[in-house]
Amino acid sequence: MSKKKYAVAIRDVIAEEMRSDERVFVMGEDIGALGGVFGCTRGLQKEFGTLRVLDTPISESGFVGIGIGAALTGMRPVIDFMYLDFVYVAMDQLLNQAAKLRYMYGGRASLPLVIRGQQGVGRGNAGTHSQSIEAFFTHIPGFKVVMPSNAYDAAGLLRTAIRENNPVMFIEHKALYIQTEEVPDDPDFMIPFGQAAVKRSGSDATIVATSLMVSRALEAAERLAEEGIEVEVIDPRTLIPFDIDTVITSVKKTGRALVVHEAHKNNGPGSEIASQIMEKGFRYLDAPVARLGAKACTLPFSLVLENAVVPSVEDIIQSVHEICYH
Amino acid sequence: MDKQTILNVHETMLVIRKFEERALNLFETNKLRGSVHLSIGQEAVAATVGAYLRDEDYITSTHRGHGHAIAKGARADRAMAELMGKVTGYCGGRGGSMHIADVDKGNLGANAIVGGGIPHAAGAALSAKMRGTDQVAVTFFGDGASNEGIFHETLNMASIWKLPVIFICENNLYGMTTNVERVTSVKDIAVRGAAYDIPGVVVDGNDVFSVEKAFKKALKRAKAGDGPTLIEAKTYRWKGHWTGDPEMYRSRDEVSSWKEKCPILRLEAHMIENQLLTEEQIRTKHQEIDQLIDEAERFALESPEPDPSTVLDNVFDEGDQ
């Protein structure tokens, strides 16, 4: 084990995979000399050269398309998106092409393609640099959707993503890059997709939280414990595939569930998760499933306003009180 | 072009022409549905380019892509089966006319989003460069696609990275119903190459020798590591944009003037003049291809529909890397 920051864990896994598999390469904006705005590709160009660590022009749609062509012909591209908000510039290539080609070609092609980058709040980047994009990629079939909430998971899930034969939307969080954790040194350390992590066990209510919201849910749980409410916190880690079994097992025990994410609440991933809990666990429920997500407005620039839009620890505590009828 | 290549190109053009004529007939008699975009009149481009590509070279194509697929080695029977959505089709009935692909044969797919396949060819070329092979990639697209941002993005990247990719614009004068002149800033799309330091060439797309000359040069350039070429083949689609297009946007005179420039008749005239084939031999060749298309139709009609219980197959690749 080595203590690593989330951003370093990501960089190290990319480097290790590039060392062990010459089909793996990285492309994106400002990834070479700079090493990425958040340092996730720092030093890679020096080690692997300018072809395998390929600096691109600001042409998101074009370089995703080029990544698709490379993936169809034997390479395993890892595409750095800097800010995942920029996926909207490349939506045709992502959702009409990458997500669909294998299916439309009758399964006679594979697309080992990782799209990775960061999203979310925390730096006052305003509406086009602070949003959460996962819902789009959970709605259109064809992408695996991964949201590591800590350095350990980031390492294990990214290795799985790079070795995966399908397009993966690997969603990091800008506020988590400095999160530090013990990460296994094993160059084959992998966390399978579709395996939730129970971050804290409890018997009174279940919180399903993703990405940055996992730490907020855990903080809320600590404070709720002080008043005698024991909350179980589950981090699904991947939204596609989604480990509903672990969630239902928990709800069976607690009878109450809250889903928390940073994406907009309206038609957000929580809508789907809450529906699945009700479809598969209605008889265990003692209260309606609650949801928390960003309010239905553009992420504002002012940090005061930004904090008002996304769920806070207090919002989570209040929501748990509501489902526990406190 | 040597004799054998001429014979091959001629045969490929005939297969494309007759395949599409049959597809239209089947569409009109309700044996085939969906979108069927025909390239009748444009066969010289696909057939000539295909004659100079190897199995390991790549192409990407468009919604008007039957000809490209056939020129890259697709079988008429499996292509026809795909047009009918049958399980024996190239995509098992999941893709249809607009998405025929045969990745193992280097056909990375027809693409129904205008311009969508252009970067995929550049990506295949990048992949070839990274793997150190001498493979080349060709992308076919229309005049309409040259107004898509992704065309410009891809040309730029192909140029800076000197990728072995050849951009072939089949300018058939119309993007759906809109005349290219009304929506395009330049008279010749080939000049757009200059913006990216890529040679741009205009060729007569209805003349196999004109296409051949430019394509061979582009191929040489790509293989030498000197980067991409943009070839604009001026051509014309005889049929509407889609089956059932009322074609209000062009005159009958315009259509018939282009039919006089039929690429197949032109090549056949050349073949007779140079005693490559006699008229009789050409007639026999036509009959041979008619038979091939009859068999393709029979194969497609008799092939089973896909099993609905398999509809969720292949969303993901579940296999090992």
CA dist., res. A94 & res. B150, Å (int): 13
Q: A60-72 and B118-131 helices cross at what angle (nearest 10)? A: 60
Write the single-letter amino acid at A239. L
Write the single-letter amino acid at B142. G
pLDDT for position B320: 60
Point out the residue among A72, A107, A164 whose CB comes nearest to the CB of B108.
A72
Q: Do B128 and A73 touch (CB under 8 A)?
A: yes
The reply to whether A60 belongs to the active site is yes
The reply to whether A226 belongs to the active site is no
Domain that holds residue A241: 197-323
pLDDT for position B30: 93
pLDDT for position B250: 95
Is B315 inside a domain boundary?
A: no
Residues A62-71: pLDDT tens digits? 999 999 999 9
Same domain? A64 vs A158: yes
> Do the beta carbons of residue A145 and residue A238 sit within 8 Å?
yes
* B162 vs A: CB within 8 A: no
Which domain-ending residue is among A183, A213, A234?
Answer: A183
Is A88 inside a domain boundary?
A: yes
Chain A residue with Cα closest to B118: A65
DSSP assignment letter at B97: G
Q: Which residues, at least 6 apart from A2, have a Cβ–Cβ distance to it below 8 Å?
A: A182, A183, A185
Is A189 inside a domain boundary?
A: no
CA dist., res. A144 & res. A141, Å (int): 9
CA dist., res. A265 & res. A310, Å (int): 9
Q: List the single best residue of B134, B153, B311 to mutate versus A (max A Cβ within 10 A).
A: B153
Same domain? A203 vs A158: no
E strand or H helix that includes residue A279: helix A269-281
CATH number for the domain spanning A28: value is: 3.40.50.970
End-to-end CA distance of chain B: 42
Beta bridge partners of B229: B166
Q: Do A105 and B316 touch (CB under 8 A)?
A: no
Between positions 123 and 152 of B, the ones with CB within 8 A of A are 123-131, 137, 149-150
Is B226 inside a domain boundary?
A: yes
CATH number for the domain spanning B100: value is: 3.40.50.970
Residues A101-114: pLDDT tens digits? 999 999 999 999 99
Is B321 inside a domain boundary?
A: no
Same domain? A222 vs A263: yes
Three-class secondary structure of residue B64 per DSSP: coil
For the residues of B260-319, what is the DSSP string, one character each? TT-HHHHHHHHHHHTTSS-HHHHHHHHHHHHHHHHHHHHHHHHSPPPPGGGTTTTSS--S
Same domain? A85 vs A156: yes
**Inter-CA distances, B120 with A81, B96, B150, B180, B288, Å:** 18, 19, 11, 24, 35
For B279, counting Cβ atoms within 10 Å of its Cβ (0-12 exposed, 13-18 middle, 19+ buried), the class is exposed
The radius of gyration computed from the CA coordinates of chain A, to the nearest angstrom, equals: 19
Between positions 57 and 116 of B, the ones with CB within 8 A of A are 58, 60, 89-95, 99, 101-104, 108-109, 111, 113, 116
- Specify the number of domains making up chain A: 2
Could you give phi then psi for residue B301, rounded to 5 degrees? -65, -35
Which residue in the list A29, A129, A264, A306 is annotated as catalytic?
A: A129
CA dist., res. A63 & res. A81, Å (int): 10
For A283, counting Cβ atoms within 10 Å of its Cβ (0-12 exposed, 13-18 middle, 19+ buried), the class is exposed
> Do the beta carbons of residue B86 and residue A29 sit within 8 Å?
no
Q: List the single best residue of A52, A55, A73, A101 to mutate versus B (max B Cβ within 10 A).
A: A73
CA dist., res. B188 & res. B208, Å (int): 19
CA dist., res. B43 & res. B64, Å (int): 11
> Do the beta carbons of residue A267 and residue A217 sit within 8 Å?
no
Residues A166-211: pLDDT tens digits? 999 999 999 999 999 999 999 999 999 999 999 999 999 999 999 9
Nearest to A117 by CA among A78, A153, A89: A78
What global pTM score does this model have?
0.97
Q: Do A105 and B99 touch (CB under 8 A)?
A: yes
Is B248 inside a domain boundary?
A: yes
**What's the helix, strand, coil split of chain B in %, to 5?**
50, 10, 40
Same domain? A165 vs A212: no
Q: B3-28 and B263-273 helices cross at what angle (nearest 10)? A: 150
Domain that holds residue B27: 3-310
Q: Do B119 and A70 touch (CB under 8 A)?
A: no
Q: List the single best residue of B83, B97, B105, B130 to mutate versus A (max A Cβ within 10 A).
A: B130
Q: Do B315 and A163 touch (CB under 8 A)?
A: no
Is B60 inside a domain boundary?
A: yes
Residue found by looking up tokens 């290795």 in the block: A159
Q: Other CB atoms closer than 10 Å to residue B300's CB: what's the count?
A: 26
- Specify the number of domains making up chain B: 1
Could you give phi then psi for residue A117, rounded to 5 degrees? 175, -175
User: Which regions of chain A are under pLDDT 50?
Assistant: none
Is B318 inside a domain boundary?
A: no
pLDDT for position B244: 80
Same domain? A294 vs A212: yes
Same domain? A161 vs A55: yes
Chain B residue with Cα closest to A97: B116
CA A159 to chain CA centroid, nearest Å: 14
Point out the residue among A51, A62, A73 whose CB comes nearest to the CB of B153.
A62
Which domain-ending residue is among A183, A216, A231?
Answer: A183
Is A238 inside a domain boundary?
A: yes
Same domain? A274 vs A153: no
Which domain-ending residue is among A127, A149, A183?
Answer: A183
Nearest to A98 by CA among A17, A20, A166: A166
Same domain? A43 vs A172: yes
CA dist., res. B108 & res. B165, Å (int): 13
Point out the residue among A63, A92, A108 whose CB comes nearest to the CB of B157.
A63
Is A78 inside a domain boundary?
A: yes
pLDDT for position B279: 97
Is B55 inside a domain boundary?
A: yes
Residue found by looking up tokens 């290790």 in the block: A16
User: Which regions of chain B are under pLDDT 70?
Assistant: 320-321
Same domain? A74 vs A148: yes
pLDDT for position B121: 98
Which residue in the list A16, A60, A134, A164 is annotated as catalytic?
A: A60
Is B188 inside a domain boundary?
A: yes
Chain A residue with Cα closest to B114: A92
CA dist., res. B127 & res. A75, Å (int): 6
CA dist., res. A140 & res. A202, Å (int): 34
Is A15 inside a domain boundary?
A: yes
CATH number for the domain spanning A287: value is: 3.40.50.920
Is A188 inside a domain boundary?
A: no
Between positions 243 and 272 of B, the ones with CB within 8 A of A are none
pLDDT for position B160: 98
